[in-house]
């Protein structure tokens, strides 16, 4: 599986995480973190709304002498990483990028961008290219990276995060303060867009010299195993089989948008095992509690039809109006892949899910 993932035995490996290099009191750098916006926003909001929220925060922060924008990118979140930096001071603006690893993660690429920016800033400070740097503002769209760094220099679980803290300390001065700010990505902020462009350029660079970390290697192996499993599934599963039509061999995505009861219903319909279907009860050899007669798979509303998940979702005459309203006139099992929200509303309309209670 390692070979399938593209991992080579002679690849450059990232060193193991080293603990206890410096005690907490050895760090003198003055740094604060801004990880929330004054106005609540979500990714569903339009870019202008998210941009105004970010600008509102930035306008209330101390006036910076140096502004840095960083961004990281990884194809599919696991491959061809790139890190981009935009550094603004005085009348100058410098942009550059580096490779962040053939095997990486979005988190690692974002952290490589922060580390690279601090390394570049340190060189400019040492060469007196930046005459004044009392307040340094660093903007990134990686909330995960800032949350990890905010835990402190001795709480880091990733070597690249340790590197960031070491470089922050190397840039420290008695009158220098760093403000690390989270800003929403792809919201029309010029600095973020420039850094994003640099990160994508970095992903096209030669990657062989970038060490492979343990977590990106594990992510690459998992992705390869998942791809291999899907290939075997598609080879073995009949294209007309219920499971393939309902799931396409994929897991239910973005499960956080559904309640526990909704998830249970969706998953049972996807595997043709919901207990509202007589075919399921018949398969389990259930009997009618009132009569003691074994339950048959036949639909009580549609003569000659088996009441399975496909029948309830796509054909049963009892719920024609509800089906047309929520799923359209001629739905197929693909709706369990493409529009689970509509399926939930349909199941609620026909009484298989409890109605949403008003707050």
Q: What is the pLDDT along the chain (359 residues), one digit of tens a residue?
A: 777 777 766 555 666 555 555 666 667 899 999 999 988 888 878 899 999 999 999 999 999 999 999 999 998 887 889 999 999 999 999 999 999 988 888 999 999 999 999 999 999 999 999 988 999 999 999 999 999 999 998 888 888 899 999 999 999 999 999 999 999 999 999 999 999 999 999 999 987 666 677 777 777 788 888 888 888 888 888 888 888 888 887 777 655 678 889 999 999 999 999 999 999 999 999 999 899 999 999 999 999 999 999 999 999 999 999 999 999 999 999 999 888 999 999 999 999 988 765 44
Tell if the pTM clears 0.75, that is, is over it: no
Tell the residue number behind the tokens 């339009």, with chain if given.
46
> Can you give the residue ranges of every domain in the chain?
2-217, 242-349
* Structure letter (DSSP) for residue 128: T
Kind plus residue range of the DSSP H or E element containing 292: none
Local structure of 331: helix, strand or coil? coil
Could you tell me if 276 and 346 are in contact, meaning their C-beta atoms sit under 8 angstroms apart?
no
How far is the C-alpha of 154 from the C-alpha of 222, rounded, in Å?
Answer: 29
Question: In this structure, which long-range contacts are made by residues 354-358, counting pairs with CB atoms below 8 Å and at least 24 apart in sequence?
Answer: 354/261
Closest CA to 196 of 21, 352, 19, 72: 72
In the Cβ-directed half-sphere of 314, how many Cα atoms lie within 13 Å? 18
Topology annotation, domain 2-217: Nucleotidyltransferase; domain 5 (3.30.420)
Q: Do 31 and 118 touch, CB atoms closer than 8 A?
A: no
Which of 342-345's residues contact partners 24+ apart within 8 Å by CB, and which partners? 343/266, 343/269, 343/313, 344/258, 344/262, 344/265, 344/266
Number of C-beta neighbours around residue 53 at 10 A: 20
223 in Cβ contact with 78 (< 8 Å)? yes
DSSP 13: B
Q: Using CA atoms, how far apart are residues 79 and 75, in angstroms rounded to an integer?
A: 5
Q: What share of the chain is helix, strand, coil (3-state, %, to 5)?
A: 45, 15, 40
Given this model, what pLDDT does residue 33 score?
A: 96
Q: Report phi then psi at 144, rounded to 5.
A: -65, -40
The pLDDT value given to residue 234: 85
Q: Which two tokens stand for residue 38?
A: 């004054």
């Amino acid at each position: 599986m390692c070979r399938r993932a593209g991992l080579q035995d002679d690849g450059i490996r990232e060193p193991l995480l080293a603990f206890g290099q410096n005690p907490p009191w050895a760090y003198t750098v003055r740094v604060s973190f801004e990880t929330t916006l004054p106005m609540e926003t979500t990714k569903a909001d339009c870019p202008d709304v998210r941009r105004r929220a970010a600008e509102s925060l930035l306008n209330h922060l101390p006036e910076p002498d140096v502004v840095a924008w960083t961004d990281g990118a990884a194809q599919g979140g696991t491959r061809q990483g790139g890190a981009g930096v935009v550094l603004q001071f005085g009348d100058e603006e410098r942009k550059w990028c580096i490779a962040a690893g053939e095997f990486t993660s979005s988190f690692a690429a974002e952290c490589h961008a922060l580390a690279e920016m601090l390394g570049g800033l340190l060189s400019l400070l040492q060469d007196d290219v930046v005459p004044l740097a009392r307040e340094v503002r660093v903007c990134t769209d990686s909330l995960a990276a800032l949350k990890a760094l905010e835990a402190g220099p001795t709480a880091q679980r990733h070597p690249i995060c340790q590197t960031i803290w070491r470089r922050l300390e190397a840039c420290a001065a008695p009158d220098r303060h760093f403000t690390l700010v989270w800003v929403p990505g792809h919201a029309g902020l010029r600095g973020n867009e420039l850094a994003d462009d640099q990160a994508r350029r970095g992903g096209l660079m030669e990657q062989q010299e970038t060490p492979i970390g343990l977590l990106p290697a594990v992510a690459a192996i998992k992705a390869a195993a998942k791809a291999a499993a899907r290939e075997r599934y598609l080879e073995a599963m009949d294209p007309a089989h219920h499971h393939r039509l309902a799931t396409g061999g994929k897991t239910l995505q973005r499960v956080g948008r559904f309640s526990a009861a909704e998830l249970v219903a969706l998953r049972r319909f996807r595997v043709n095992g919901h207990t509202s279907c007589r075919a399921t009860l018949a398969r389990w050899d259930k009997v009618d509690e009132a009569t003691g007669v074994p339950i048959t798979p036949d639909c009580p509303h549609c003569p000659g039809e088996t009441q399975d998940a496909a029948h309830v979702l796509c054909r049963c005459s009892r719920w024609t109006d509800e089906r047309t309203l929520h799923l359209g006139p001629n739905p197929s099992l693909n709706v369990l892949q493409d529009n689970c929200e509509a399926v939930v509303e349909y199941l609620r309309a026909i009484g298989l899910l409890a109605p949403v209670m008003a707050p």
